[in-house]
Amino acid sequence: MTKVLQNVQMLNEQGELQTVNIAMAEGIITAIGQDVTVVGAEVIEGKGFIVAPGFVDVHTHLREPGFEHKETIATGSASAAKGGFTTICAMPNTKPVPDSVANMQLINGLIKESAVIRVLPYGSLTKDISGEVRTNVEELKANGAVAFSDDGVGIQLASTMYEQMKDAAQYDMVVVAHCEDNSLIYDGVMHEGKRNKELDLPGIPSICESVQIARDVLLAEAAGARYHVCHVSTKESVRAVRDAKAAGIRVTAEVCPHHLLLEEMDIPSDDANWKMNPPLRGADDKDSLHAALLDGTIDCIATDHAPHTVEEKCCGMVGAPFGIVGFETAFPLLYTQFVETGKWTLKQLIDWMSVKAAEIFDLPYGTLAVGASADMILIDIQKEQTIDAEGFVSKGRNTPFNGWVAKGWPVLTIFEGNIVYQEAE
């Protein structure tokens, strides 16, 4: 069955909007153009909204299997679809961990059963993400691992990281690192700076992250590996990535919306909805993340969607788990704060949330082109709405952005030619 998405505004390479129709059949885009019509096709009226490729999020936590009280593949993928994402990579801190062929197959089965968009699972770098016994890269790749990570914890031993990087290089897989030196965490719950002292809460120093990135880029160089840094949060980390890129090391990096939007001094009180790892850093760190995106040091934006229950987040930062949800607020917040204000172009934002993320992992998604998967979204750039965590499709309510007003909401999501999310009329 051919479908035609009619009367939508698409960005061209120059970043100008042009009104087009998009035809799709068998889940593939078959034509894009001003005069595209197909006799007998089902018409989806686009109402002049902006069309963008479905977003690609390379850092997400869906919690299933093992932590279904926080999120499931069904609720997490539906939340992502509502946020405009059509491809998401699921981190391996589940129970069991995708560290064996059997566990990988279990997770593949769950995804097949309940995901409403494309969910690509990571394989873990070590058994049970405990940093000790290395996993079998070849086997996990053969069973669908999109890349390798122990996200949630840093790999403490350089030798473990180095050996896994050598294996990953052999199979051309990307090693994706949550960088955190456990000897430098000091049981901290927020950034070691000014605000943690005002709130009398233990701090996490910036070096906790940056020293491990500095180590890893050198290991990646020696191993000839492709290395991707998760959720970069400090200016020293930015410098380490920038220098590594300049030296020709195969490193890429992501930044999260909250680290671009917030800083430590914004934290109003000892409220666990402001607790995430890495923590909100200083104003100078935030500025360096913006500069790094603009100069290409940081390649893409990833949400690090990390749902937890209201009970877990109820009672202050100490004792609460790290993490905030991200799918349903990422685009409108970034659009409102940085595109509407003229800091970024719409094309930059869309690219950082789609094709730039896909390119890191050689994924053929995140583009609107004939022959590509028919994954696309409509955005109502005029629509203004107050963020209400109670209305999230995600099971998580843990966001510091509750009550913020934002403009530019995804209103329709098409995945492989089928509508998987549509705003209620």
Ligand X SMILES: NC(=O)N[C@@H](CC(=O)O)C(=O)O
Just list the catalytic residues. Answer: 304
Among 134, 141, 178, 286, binds ligand X (CB under 6 A): 178
Residue 308 labelled as part of a binding site:
yes
305 is in an annotated binding site: no
Q: Which does 276 bind (CB under 5 to 8 A by kind): Zn ion, ligand X, none?
A: ligand X
Smallest gap, in angstroms, from Cβ of residue 422 to ligand X? 29
**What's the min distance (Å) between Cβ of 256 and ligand X?**
8
CB-CB neighbours of 384 under 10 Å: 12
Chain residues binding Zn ion by CB under 5 A are 151, 178, 230
- Lookup: tokens for 172: 């051309």
Separation between Cα atoms, residue 387 and residue 404, nearest integer Å: 5
Q: Does residue 306 bind ligand X (CB under 6 A)?
A: yes
Buried-state track 235-272, b at ≥16 Cβ within 10 A, e below 16 = bbbbbbbbebbeeebbbbbbbbbbbbbbbbeebeebbb
Could you tell me the smallest distance in angstroms from the CB atom of residue 28 to ligand X?
A: 33
Of these, 76, 193, 323, 332, which contacts ligand X (CB under 6 A)? Answer: 323
Return the residue of 57, 71, 99, 151 that touches ligand X, per CB under 6 A: 151
Give Cβ neighbours of residue 284 (< 8 Å, ≥ 6 apart): 235
Q: Which of residues 207-266 bind ligand X (CB under 6 A)?
A: none
- 195 annotated ligand-binding residue: no
d(CA 355, CA 333): 19
Q: Is 15 left (phi over 0), alpha (psi -120 to 50) or beta?
A: left
- Region of 381 please: left (phi>0), alpha (psi -120 to 50) or beta: alpha
Q: Which residue is nearest to Zn ion (CB)?
A: 178
Which of Zn ion, ligand X, none is residue 61 near (CB under 5 to 8 Å by kind)? ligand X
Instruction: Determine the longest span between alpha carbons in the chain, in angstroms.
Output: 68
Q: Which stretch binds ligand X (CB under 6 A): 125-133, 319-327, 330-338, 397-405?
A: 319-327
User: Does 367 participate in binding ligand X (rule CB under 6 A)?
Assistant: no
178 is in an annotated binding site: yes
Rounded Cα–Cα distance for residues 339 and 341 (Å): 5
Q: In this structure, what are the phi and psi dihedrals at residue 348, rounded to the nearest 5 degrees?
A: -60, -50
Burial 131-164 (b: 16+ CB within 10 A, else e): beebbebeebbebebbbbbbbbebbeeeebbbeb
Is residue 276 part of the contact set for ligand X (CB under 6 A)?
Answer: yes
Nearest CB to ligand X, comparing residues 84 and 278: 278
Of 20-28, 141-149, 315-323, 362-370, the window that binds ligand X (rule: CB under 6 A) is 315-323
CA pair distance 378, 363, nearest whole angstrom: 22
Amino acid at 275: K
Nearest to 309 by CA among 71, 72, 73, 77: 71
Site for ligand X in 31-60 (CB under 6 A): none
CB of 306 to Zn ion, least distance (A): 8
Q: With CB under 6 A, what is the number of residues at the site for ligand X?
A: 12
Write out the binding residues for Zn(2+).
59, 61, 151, 178, 231, 304
What is the contact surface with ligand X in residues (CB under 6 A)? 61, 93, 151-152, 178, 276-277, 304, 306, 321-323
Write out the binding residues.
59, 61-63, 93, 151, 178, 231, 277, 304, 308, 322-323
Write out the binding residues for substrate.
61-63, 93, 277, 308, 322-323
